[in-house]
Chains A and B, each alone.
Chain A
Amino acid sequence: MSNIEISVTDPMVPPSPPVMSGPRRTILRRLEPIYWLGPAFLLIAGVVITPVFFMVWSSFRNIDSVGFDHGWAGFTSYHNLFALPDLGPVMMRTIVWLVSVVGATMLISLPLAVLLNRQFPGRRAVRMALVAPWATSVFMTAIIFRWMLQPQSGLINIVGHALGLLHNIGLTSAQADWLGRPGSALVWMIIVAIFVSLPFTTYTLLAGMQAIPGDIYEAAKVDGASAWRSFSAITLPLLKPAAVVALLINLMNVFNSFPIIWEMTRGGPGDQTATSTVFMYQLKASSIPMAAAMSVLNFFVVALIVILFLRFSNWKERAI
């Protein structure tokens, strides 16, 4: 670890002494960003960008299913990928997945943050409870939900039967195989995805609320504003930046979300519950270059979403 520390701290010293003069100083100035950003840049370039090039390169190669490379293939994989009849439905499902998970997460976490921002006995414990899905790996949360959804022995079905809920919606015990049918499986996986996205989002909004200076509310109170009015006129607008951060991070994470669907249904039956990320993984079993092409496509889709989002929220004009 120590060598890294040196490379970060030592170069910081030269720019500061004012004795230095002339061209040497300007050169150092020019190089200044390298001292400060170099390590970060190296890490990103080495571990993320290089494999990205490898991924793009593989999408143009003729690699057989065992991983052996038979040479250049041009755009064949892209051609084959776009010819897949399932690609359209998968992309549509991805949009449904993205919009419903991110949308519901934002809608639920706002009142949740408001609630957690108030004083009540045991608030700290409630906040800690909310952290549980965040502290546990998503992989495990998905498995425990699959466990609870087992048709014969799962907690959700047992409790549902005990309360007579399942009977009321016309489900016999055998038919309560939620993950077996694409429709109900997708709904449950969306619920799990919302569940694991809530802590981060709620905490971000909560942080945003706590940063709003109390005196603004005081002033509003003096002016006779109602609670709702001060919420909609002060809290909401001032919360926008925090909400933008939360939304952006969620959009990228939910689009890339893999463990939930993989652990709960493997994208099945067939690819009927696969989003584009899971579909990419399914493709890998039959064609490595096609899976690489799908990864490239996924990147462009998520980049497009992010660009549209940034445009829409005027991100660029703001500080970061």
Chain B
Amino acid sequence: MKGKEESMKKRIATTVSLAMITSVLGVSASSFGAVTAKASAPKVTITVLGADYGSGPSNTTSTYWQHIAQGFMKLYPNVTVKTSTINWNDYNTKVTAQIQNKNYPDVLQGEFFPQYVSDGLLYPLSKVLSNPNAGSPVFKSSFSVKNVQYAMPFVTSARTMFYNKKLFAQAKISAPPTTWAQLLTDAKAIAKLGKIGYSLPLGPEEAQAESYLWMLGSGGGWQNAKGQYTINSKANLKAFAFLKQLVASGATNPNPATWNRTADSAKAFANGQVGMEFNGPFLTATIASAGVLKPSDYATAAIPGANGPVIKTLGVADAIQVFKSSAAKLPWIKKFMDYATNNANQLAFAHEYALLPGTVSALNSLKNDPILGSFVKALPHTVLFPSSANWTSTVLPAIKIQIGTAVTGNASSVLNQLQTLATGG
């Protein structure tokens, strides 16, 4: 019930902040309005397709986009903004169906694929944003092709370790682990309480993130600094050897290969069943709505590595990008992009879903936020997923399906197979 109250408060806060934005903009609109009306602007329709970050009508992202559209249309009555959102789980099905039928949205918020650029579908960011450098520079290279940036980070997050303070106390552990060896000991101690010591979500949903965090712990990763795949490197094998040991000790959930981040791992943590897990800020929203753990019952800490805490954690960003349409439409789309990514809209999004914003200025204003602050500070020190063209198309789908089997089967053969796939194709 506490959690419900909190989420209610949050919702009210969001609504209030949105109302404030519109009223503030309403004022400025009158001054703008005179200018735009004189220009006798042409009728323009902008279509926006976005991923849905919510779980049902109570917090669907379509409400968020509708607010933005309404606010924008008040400013520019000649423009009609049509927004729609699609559940993250069905995002790819829907977007590829649209692209296969050459039915491109004007603005797409969700995943950035380098193929969009090589297929000649996107405008460079410089054409669609007044300040093309508004987005966090951390993600600049991963949203660029040949040094030209095509997408802006719209939502970001960094990963850290969550731990259940109650369970730590029950297992008589004084401080969160900083090394793998400590993590193993602590996880075993918690497992003795009948709980999951460490929750290891290597199911298809986000196996690429979980395994990456472990690879980073031993100095490995998906690629080296030159951007060459190093999936079967020694460091990565070391990470999987440790994971195998961790799983075999019985201190994790039993079948990591089918254990998913949202449906399984986050839910188990929120229900107080898990000692430790690596997750992003959005876990706090799940914890709040489950209403089992109080904010004082859990905390975050740096991700443990082989010999000490991991300095560079994983940063993830979802993009906003503009598909090519007509020169006549472009200036209006640019205005819309500026509006949609302004501070107020960015912050409203961040608070609603417990995720980080994508623009530098919005990120800066959250530095002292009680929930998001620590994640904001971690963001500049993050490493990212590879930006090679074949990562999202070939390597990632294979990793999602196969990497989980490496902790129970033969790790080196799984990693070798993935490396061959990544470098061969």
The answer to whether any beta carbons of A and B sit under 8 Å apart in the complex is yes
Q: Which residues of A contact B (CB under 8 A)?
A: 58, 63-69, 151-153, 173-175, 177, 179-181, 185, 265-266, 268-271, 282, 284-286, 288
Instruction: Say which residue of A175, A282, A288 sits within 8 Å of B401 (CB atoms).
Output: A282
Task: Provide the bound-state CA to CA distance between A269 and B203, in Å.
Answer: 7
Residues of B within 8 A of A265 (CB): 258
Task: Provide the bound-state CA to CA distance between A269 and B95, in Å.
Answer: 26
Q: A68-B99, A173-B194 are in contact. Are A180 and B258 (CB under 8 A)?
A: yes
B16 touches A (CB below 8 Å): no
Is A68's CB under 8 angstroms from B119's CB?
A: yes
Residues of A within 8 A of B394 (CB): 65, 286
Look across to chain B and name the residue whose beta carbon is closest to the beta carbon of A173: B194
B380 touches A (CB below 8 Å): no
From residue A106, how far is it (CB to closest CB) to chain B in Å?
A: 31
Count B-side interface residues using an 8 Å CB cutoff: 37
Is A68's CB under 8 angstroms from B115's CB?
A: yes
Nearest 7 pairs of A and B residues by beta carbon: A180-B255, A67-B99, A65-B393, A269-B257, A67-B96, A67-B100, A286-B397
B284 touches A (CB below 8 Å): no
B149 touches A (CB below 8 Å): no
Residues of B within 8 A of A174 (CB): 250, 253-254
From residue A317, how far is it (CB to closest CB) to chain B in Å?
A: 43
Residues of B within 8 A of A63 (CB): 100
Look across to chain B and name the residue whose beta carbon is closest to the beta carbon of A272: B405
- Beyond contacts A151-B254, A266-B203, A269-B258: 6 other A-B pairs, Cβ-Cβ < 8 A, are A66-B115, A67-B96, A68-B115, A69-B100, A180-B259, A268-B258
From residue A170, how far is it (CB to closest CB) to chain B in Å?
A: 14
Residues of B within 8 A of A173 (CB): 194
Task: Provide the bound-state CA to CA distance between A64 and B255, in Å.
Answer: 33
Residues of A within 8 A of B115 (CB): 64-66, 68
Instruction: Say which residue of A68, A153, A268 sits within 8 Å of B204 (CB atoms).
Output: A268
Residues of A within 8 A of B400 (CB): 285
B113 touches A (CB below 8 Å): yes
Task: Provide the bound-state CA to CA distance between A151 and B196, in Å.
Answer: 11
- Which applies to chain A's interface (DSSP): helix, strand, loop or mixed? loop
Is A270's CB under 8 angstroms from B392's CB?
A: no
From residue A264, how far is it (CB to closest CB) to chain B in Å?
A: 9
Is B113's CB under 8 angstroms from A65's CB?
A: yes
Residues of B within 8 A of A69 (CB): 100
Q: A65-B113, A65-B394, A268-B404 are in contact. Are A179 and B119 (CB under 8 A)?
A: no
Is A177's CB under 8 angstroms from B254's CB?
A: yes
Give me 13 A-to-B residue pairs in the complex whose CB atoms sit less than 8 angstroms apart, sorted by A's number: A65-B113, A67-B97, A153-B271, A174-B253, A177-B254, A266-B204, A268-B257, A268-B401, A269-B258, A269-B405, A270-B404, A286-B393, A286-B398
Residues of B within 8 A of A269 (CB): 255, 257-258, 404-405
Look across to chain B and name the residue whose beta carbon is closest to the beta carbon of A285: B397
Task: Provide the bound-state CA to CA distance between A282 and B404, in Å.
Answer: 16
From residue A287, how far is it (CB to closest CB) to chain B in Å?
A: 8
Is B258's CB under 8 angstroms from A288's CB?
A: no
B364 touches A (CB below 8 Å): no
Residues of A within 8 A of B401 (CB): 268, 270-271, 282
Residues of A within 8 A of B398 (CB): 286
Residues of B within 8 A of A284 (CB): 93, 96
Is B113's CB under 8 angstroms from A66's CB?
A: yes
Task: Provide the bound-state CA to CA distance between A245 and B213, in Å.
Answer: 54
Residues of B within 8 A of A268 (CB): 203-204, 257-258, 401, 404
From residue B408, how far is it (CB to closest CB) to chain A in Å?
A: 8
B32 touches A (CB below 8 Å): no
B273 touches A (CB below 8 Å): yes
Residues of A within 8 A of B255 (CB): 177, 179-181, 269
Residues of B within 8 A of A58 (CB): 100
From residue B223, how far is it (CB to closest CB) to chain A in Å?
A: 19
Is A270's CB under 8 angstroms from B257's CB?
A: yes
Residues of A within 8 A of B97 (CB): 67
Task: Provide the bound-state CA to CA distance between A66 and B95, in Å.
Answer: 8
B413 touches A (CB below 8 Å): no
Look across to chain B and name the residue whose beta carbon is closest to the beta carbon of A179: B258
Task: Provide the bound-state CA to CA distance between A68 and B98, in Å.
Answer: 10
What are the interface flags for B87-129 relative to A under an 8 Å C-beta threshold, 1 for contact and 0 otherwise?
Answer: 0000011011111100000000000010110010100000000
Task: Provide the bound-state CA to CA distance between A271 and B402, in Å.
Answer: 8
Task: Provide the bound-state CA to CA distance between A151 and B194, in Å.
Answer: 12
